[in-house]
Amino acid sequence: MSDMNEWFEDHQGQVNGLSQFAAIQQRNRLIAQQRENATALRQQTAALEKQNKIETERSQIEQQRLELERQRAEAEQSERNLQKAQAEHLKDLRNLMADISIGLSRIRKNLAH
């Protein structure tokens, strides 16, 4: 046992140096792992930002689609209202023509008598 103690005492500086070297290597491995983790996190963040942008664009497209659908519905309602008004005007015109025709017929009968 004393030989071992003696060897450690004789080589204490070398043992300490190797211990420090091992600690430095361990620290360098941890730094490399942290860099890899940071790179992975940046990539994940970029992917999430891209996905968020896509979702935002989808939302905007959906809003535009809904606005177009609302405008189309308004245009269809306006067209129906115009067709209804046109039909009413046509009906009034037909009634007026019928009244004129009846009036002319009466005038002809009165002139014939």
3-state secondary structure of 40: helix
> Distances from the Cα of 27 to the Cαs of 19, 21, 22, 23, in angstroms?
12, 10, 9, 6
Domain residue extents for the chain: 31-112
pLDDT at 1: 60
Mean of per-residue pLDDT scores for the chain = 91
Name the pLDDT band for 46 (thresholds 50, 70, 90). Answer: very high
Task: Specify the pLDDT at position 14.
Answer: 74
Measured in degrees and rounded to the nearest 5, phi and psi for residue 11 equal -115, 20
Q: Please answer whether residues 15 and 8 qualify as being in contact, where contact means their C-beta atoms are separated by less than 8 angstroms.
A: yes
